[in-house]
Amino acid sequence: MTHPVSRRSFVASAAAAGLAAPGLAAHRLQSPANGRDILRVGLIGCGGRGTGAAVQALRADSRTVLVAMADLFEDRLRSSLSGITEAMEDQAERQVRVEPNAMHVGFEAFQRVIDSDVDVVLLATTPNFRPMHIEAAVAAGKHVFAEKPMAVDGPGVRKVIAAAAEAKRRRLAMVSGFCWRYGNAERAVFAQINSGAIGKVMAAHTTYHTGTLSPRPRRPEWSDMEWQMRNWWHFTWISGDHIVEQACHSIDRLSWAMGDVDPVRCVSLGGRAARQGPESGHVYDHFAVIYEYPDGRRGFHTCRQIDRCPSDNTDYIFGTQGRAVVNGWTPQHELFDLDGRSMWTYSGPRRDMYQNEHDAMFASIRTGNPINDGEFMMRSTLMAIMGRMAAYTGQTITWEQALNSKEDLTPERLHFGEMSVAPVAVPGVTRFF
């Protein structure tokens, strides 16, 4: 299933990327005596985020070189290489050195990158494959940057929890794409909240209300699998549904506000009110989850992907002595007293959080203290999955049930052929496994 990108197609893409100078691809990297002054980076999942993450990794540390890439589709890989090369400008010749035999496509392509002589892998495929890729990367001793969410089901969560623990044991970086944790303003305001500036946090409501993501109409030449993979947001087995794929950022901040402790159970309402047509697959378009904590506190999360409705991506956090309003886009990072008077607002620098996380990861690798985001990234991922499970089934789902769930969403056979679409989940009918 895997094959390196052909020489001919590489030359075409390299030319488009301004890389076609003769002999360049054959040029070997110069490594100093310790052999690892230059960190070799492999990119797995060459879409929008993977392309951005590769550029951020290369900008984070001038002694990094992108040497290998993998994607399901050659067109995605080639456009990513062009994008990375263009973005790296005059540093591209030195830091973007992906030889044709290091460009792999297909479902097994990830393993070829992991098996190559890379030090760091950037995992930015669609979410379903993250556990498989994280597990393989850690087993091979690679530092990992993994985009959110970390899994779409219970078996995937358990796999990543084990891999994150193993990464810690082996002193390998495990940095997550929960990028708000690396935002300057978010770090400052959550430090205020977690240190008691609004008293004890009793409840929080986070929102992720947006329009729909563009569906990709089917082309006649696409197999069922190719169509689903290219239109992946709309299929739960690939994305986890939008509460897991997208709203997990806001669920992560909900968890941050509540002090990063495991909730005991959740109740969740959701459905599909406005999505129509086969391109929209079977995912829901709205969820409302209530998380209950061991001490009786409650966390609320609502997310919606419906056009022509107001958007909101704000965290409303309520403490015994005040409240906080956090919105990274408007931006607002502000604390209020119980009478609604502003007590504190963030006024420091606002660097690109995506760049911040890569700067932090490479600095931690260089200093021998690799960051491990395992604990919070898995709690937030499982909270999102638990919210979907509760909405799909209509049942109250406990933390233990979600963690031990046997529902494995990955198809038995990953191949570009027939692939049926599961029916839309019906609360009260869809069963929990």
Ligand X SMILES: NC(=O)c1ccc[n+]([C@@H]2O[C@H](COP(=O)([O-])OP(=O)(O)OC[C@H]3O[C@@H](n4cnc5c(N)ncnc54)[C@H](O)[C@@H]3O)[C@@H](O)[C@H]2O)c1
Q: What is the DSSP letter of 120?
A: E
C-alpha–C-alpha distance, residues 35 and 113, integer Å: 19
Q: How far is CA 122 from CA 41, 45, 68, 300, 425, in A?
A: 7, 8, 10, 32, 33
Stretches 12-20, 64-72, 159-167, 200-208: which one binds ligand X (CB under 6 A)?
64-72
Answer yes or no: are the C-beta atoms of 373 and 191 closer than 8 Å: no
Contacts of 150 (CB under 8 A, 6+ apart): 127, 130, 131, 134, 156, 157, 160, 176, 377, 378, 381
Comparison of 110 and 287: residue with beta carbon closer to ligand X: 110
The one among 14, 42, 58, 71 contacting ligand X by CB under 6 A:
71
Binding to ligand X by residue 144, rule CB under 6 A? no
CB of 45 to ligand X, least distance (A): 4
C-alpha–C-alpha distance, residues 167 and 24, integer Å: 35
CB of 70 to ligand X, least distance (A): 5
Binding to ligand X by residue 177, rule CB under 6 A? yes
CB of 19 to ligand X, least distance (A): 20
Binding to ligand X by residue 147, rule CB under 6 A? yes
CB of 76 to ligand X, least distance (A): 3
Binding to ligand X by residue 148, rule CB under 6 A? yes
The one among 82, 95, 126, 356 contacting ligand X by CB under 6 A:
126
Binding to ligand X by residue 109, rule CB under 6 A? yes
The one among 12, 18, 31, 73 contacting ligand X by CB under 6 A:
73
- Residues numbered 197 to 236 that lie near ligand X (CB under 6 A) are 229
Stretches 66-74, 276-284, 362-370, 375-383: which one binds ligand X (CB under 6 A)?
66-74
Contacts of 172 (CB under 8 A, 6+ apart): 138, 141, 142, 143, 144, 370
The one among 39, 68, 124, 361 contacting ligand X by CB under 6 A:
124
The one among 4, 25, 43, 45 contacting ligand X by CB under 6 A:
45
Please give the residue whose beta carbon sits closest to ligand X in the complex. 47
Size of the site for ligand X (CB under 6 A): 26
Residue with tokens 């985001």: 373
Comparison of 126 and 393: residue with beta carbon closer to ligand X: 126
Answer yes or no: are the C-beta atoms of 64 and 362 closer than 8 Å: yes
CB of 409 to ligand X, least distance (A): 14
C-alpha–C-alpha distance, residues 155 and 136, integer Å: 15
Alpha helices in 318-373 (DSSP H): 353-366
CB of 80 to ligand X, least distance (A): 7
Binding to ligand X by residue 83, rule CB under 6 A? no
Question: Which amino acid does the sequence have at 184?
Answer: N
Binding to ligand X by residue 252, rule CB under 6 A? no
C-alpha–C-alpha distance, residues 232 and 166, integer Å: 30
C-alpha–C-alpha distance, residues 81 and 104, integer Å: 12
Question: What is the CB neighbour count within 10 angstroms for residue 109?
Answer: 27
The one among 70, 88, 243, 409 contacting ligand X by CB under 6 A:
70
Comparison of 5 and 70: residue with beta carbon closer to ligand X: 70
The two three-digit tokens of residue 237, written as one number: 């087995």
CB of 297 to ligand X, least distance (A): 27
Comparison of 233 and 392: residue with beta carbon closer to ligand X: 233
The one among 54, 57, 65, 76 contacting ligand X by CB under 6 A:
76
Contacts of 257 (CB under 8 A, 6+ apart): 190, 193, 201, 204, 206, 299, 315, 317, 324
Q: What is the largest CA-CA distance in the chain?
A: 69
Stretches 107-115, 167-175, 333-341, 417-425: which one binds ligand X (CB under 6 A)?
107-115
DSSP sequence for 361-391? HHHHHHTT---B-HHHHHHHHHHHHHHHHHH
CB of 17 to ligand X, least distance (A): 16
Residues of this chain that bind ligand X (CB under 6 A): 44-50, 70-73, 76, 107, 109-110, 124-127, 129, 147-148, 177, 179, 229, 245
